[in-house]
Amino acid sequence: MSASYWAKLYIEMLDDTKVGFMDDWLFRRFIYLILAAKEYNKDGLLPPIDKLAWRLRMTEEQTVKALADLQEINIARETPEGWVIINYAKYQAPVPGAERMRHSRAKQYSSDECVTKRNSDVTTPSISISISDSDSLSTLRDEVIKLTGLQVLQGDIKTLVEWDKEQVTEDDIRDALQWRKDQGLQPVKIISQLAGGVATSRARRVQDQSARKNGGQPKEDLSGLSTPDL
């Protein structure tokens, strides 16, 4: 018996039509068979039918039926050595070092190291950022943390990158926060909730700057702009 305590399931299974068309009974047995193969530890080979049936608390007839059904959709196959789960070795193989490092770095980016306390006299901890990120993005990140008192989550990264691209200023963010306060709205719980409000504040600022440059008067409101996200 293997010393392993777990087996891998991949998110791509959600898009696998072979899995999607299984009924609940077969899907459950499919998962059980993956675990049994992991425990047997022979690259996807399953134990003999009598032992497998006992391990899964099924009759031998039910076990054979499940395997036969999986064979029809090319997930299991009967061989001279016994029943095998197809592609088991491929999906259960150790993750290559380079890929594991990429996952580790992505996790580090959104880890608790990016959390800052709301108290202004506490030094703001730095967020681990890839060396490919610009200095302006790092500065923007620090400003957002300071203004909102929120940690940068993985889902906020896209918003920060977009703000950096659009040259969003600290005043744009402050105006969006003030607008929510003036409207009596609850404080945002994640940074990306400010995306709509910041976009509106930035557009107003850009239009006002353009009006001043052309000798006109800044406009109080912008027609055609969407209401900030609530």
Q: Per residue in 183-229, pLDDT tens?
A: 888 888 899 889 889 999 999 898 888 888 877 665 555 444 444 55
CATH topology of domain 11-92: Arc Repressor Mutant, subunit A (1.10.10)
Contact 124, 145 (CB under 8 A): yes
C-alpha to C-alpha distances, 163 to 16, 25, 91, 127, 156, nearest whole angstrom: 36, 48, 38, 17, 11
Q: Give the model confidence (pLDDT) of 123-167 as tens digits.
A: 444 444 442 445 778 888 888 999 999 988 877 888 888 898 888
What pLDDT does 103 receive?
55
Report the candidate in 130, 115, 28, 131 with the shortest Cα–Cα distance to residue 70.
28
Q: Is 61 helix (H, G, I), strand (E, B) or coil?
A: helix
Q: Where are the domains of the chain?
A: 11-92, 104-213
Least-confidence region, from 59-63, 168-172, 207-211, 224-228: 224-228
